[in-house]
Chains A and B, each alone.
Chain A
């Protein structure tokens, strides 16, 4: 009821103000009227977003749990040198990890392939756009990054790992699905089913996947994956295995899978629209020249949609940097799965507002470059 009253009052005030302006002399009235339209939004944004954001930054540089002491940078230095935030211990382990060695080998193979492909077309350099090189290159980069993020621990590293995994896999899956669906008779039904997880809450998704990951116990049936997994049950979320071992930090990956499950549908729909936007004449011309379907995709369709791929990747990156609900509802940040937004919440919950402000500002710092890139591209496209 109060809601109806509030909305009615809002519309009423707006109408009355406008009718009052109608009474004023034309010239004065038309000067004031724009502000009646704009000021509610601007005041709202200032009071609820702009001023609080500035205050959060200031708070992150003040002492005491509520900023009651003066200026200090110790909040930041303390957190950034904290091993659970930005741990650097054992960083040399990166270079000896199997993933890293695998990545280096794959990069070498990819470069050899690129050279061979370029030589075949009489090109002196490297041909980096072919399917083999692209896929192997992506695989190698992924392997090296996984080596980094499984060796270095801490919430910042975790957040970055999230970005790589979710943005990378969702985009790859989305692209594959968009291409497959483009050839299909039942395109819209298939796309609807893949896209469906976008509609539900992250908390709901966490519950859905609980029944995939659950460990069996006296009062809990084992989840599907635990039944299918060869060799003993594993707590995929908390990382402990039946034999007392641990799969940490790979338990992070199983939480990220849930996010990929949700976001692949988003990537698919955006990329699908972009693929349909590529002029069909281009592909037809290539086919007449003897190109096969794979070549048409890798040499014509993909280069045409790179800017959309960039949009998808940056959008996912920003979403993932703020990830909170999923971690909170699955592992609660335990077992090495903590992320920045959860640290921020923990600060707030325990009454340490300065700490919360520091972690919120860290998210801002990570998001800003991407947003800058986004806004610049938007305005460039708007100008074009």
Chain B
């Protein structure tokens, strides 16, 4: 854990992933024995890489094969009998068979959940993390422990009462009188129900990571700003937020992918509203519908994966940091 969280970089673990080629021992191995023995690990490695990639490649190939081919033969027949079409993508995106939400709409639904589900927790967490790191107030220590403890709670623990909360608001009955603690917002089966839940589930980790990062900013920086007359609010906006960009980006990517790839929370809070369902739910619907539209499955799966894959390949450095740090999430 220490390698993952040692400041100033919350996750140093991914650092080496970026491009540093294998370190010292290589030459030693080359000197000894025959050259082919030295290259054996590389062959084994690439064998495993090919093995790992085959399922994904198969799906990608299948997504471009016409319906009749797909349902008759496996994707590897493409080598003996190549024929490609974009029809599957076209149909999945714009014109799915009866009863299905188009994947274009589902894609937009996923965005409508994942974007606020990422920005809102970051905004709330950044402020809290700064306060925990550099402000003095009674109960600071215990509140921070409370936040950390919340990381241990499996999100399943929150789902049943949250559903009731969304449906009925919160009431408190004391001595025969019922007080309305929170009014009924009637947001069950709306995207807000999903991203509000994700906001809460993402907060403990966000605060923890950002706190690690922000508390490692040298004290001198703040003292200089104070002498210039800045207060906490000014320091937070003008110094802390800009300085924390790497940590914010790492968490943002982790949280975005977490929400985008989530199935359970959306399934529970959007079960009655098909028009608001994200890609993951639509994909499972397509899997379980025996019959119509099975030929669209590979294309639909790739539509759901395209955003994560773009983020993965373009922002891998931040992605690795966020993912490694976030893998302890509850």
- Counting contact residues on chain B (CB < 8 A from A), the size range is 35 or more
Partner of B17, one of A33, A191, A315: A191
B287 and A42 contacting across the interface, CB-CB below 8 Å: no
The stretch from B43-51, B79-87, B96-104, B242-250 touching chain A is B43-51
Instruction: Provide the bound-state CA to CA distance between A197 and B55, in Å.
Output: 10
Instruction: Provide the bound-state CA to CA distance between A72 and B199, in Å.
Output: 34
A318 and B162 contacting across the interface, CB-CB below 8 Å: no
Q: Smallest CB–CB gap between A202 and chain B, Å?
A: 7
A7 and B123 contacting across the interface, CB-CB below 8 Å: yes
> Taking the complex as formed, is A98 at the interface, i.e. its CB lies under 8 A from any CB of chain B?
no
A277 and B3 contacting across the interface, CB-CB below 8 Å: yes
The stretch from A82-90, A157-165, A205-213 touching chain B is A205-213
The answer to whether residues A41 and B284 also contact, given A22-B231, A177-B45 and a CB cut-off of 8 A, is no
Q: Inside 8 A of B305's CB, which chain A residues have their CB?
A: 199-201, 204
> Taking the complex as formed, is B52 at the interface, i.e. its CB lies under 8 A from any CB of chain A?
yes
> Taking the complex as formed, is A375 at the interface, i.e. its CB lies under 8 A from any CB of chain B?
yes
Binary interface encoding of chain B residues 129-150 relative to chain A, with 1 for a CB under 8 A from any of its CBs, else 0: 0111001110010010011111
B55 and A34 contacting across the interface, CB-CB below 8 Å: no
A375 and B233 contacting across the interface, CB-CB below 8 Å: no
The answer to whether residues A269 and B263 also contact, given A211-B298, A261-B52, A319-B327 and a CB cut-off of 8 A, is no
Q: Inside 8 A of B225's CB, which chain A residues have their CB?
A: none
A273 and B297 contacting across the interface, CB-CB below 8 Å: no
Q: Inside 8 A of B183's CB, which chain A residues have their CB?
A: none
Partner of A266, one of B200, B264, B327: B327
Partner of B161, one of A51, A208, A315: A51
Q: Inside 8 A of A341's CB, which chain B residues have their CB?
A: 156, 264
> Taking the complex as formed, is A364 at the interface, i.e. its CB lies under 8 A from any CB of chain B?
yes
- Counting contact residues on chain A (CB < 8 A from B), the size range is 35 or more
> Taking the complex as formed, is B16 at the interface, i.e. its CB lies under 8 A from any CB of chain A?
yes
Instruction: Provide the bound-state CA to CA distance between A259 and B151, in Å.
Output: 22
Q: Inside 8 A of B264's CB, which chain A residues have their CB?
A: 324-325, 341, 345
19 pairs, A vs B, C-beta closer than 8 Å: A3-B116, A7-B120, A19-B233, A22-B233, A38-B137, A42-B143, A45-B150, A48-B162, A180-B45, A184-B41, A190-B45, A190-B46, A202-B263, A211-B58, A273-B12, A280-B25, A325-B263, A359-B156, A361-B157
Where the two chains meet, the residues of B that have a C-beta atom closer than 8 Å to any C-beta of A are 1-5, 12-26, 28-29, 41-42, 44-46, 48-49, 52-56, 58-59, 62, 70-76, 112, 115-116, 119-120, 123-125, 127-128, 130-132, 135-137, 140, 143, 146-165, 170, 182, 192, 196-197, 199-201, 203-204, 207, 231-233, 236, 257, 260-264, 267-268, 271, 280, 283-284, 287-288, 291, 294, 297-298, 300-301, 304-305, 308-309, 311-313, 316, 319-320, 323-324, 327-328, 330
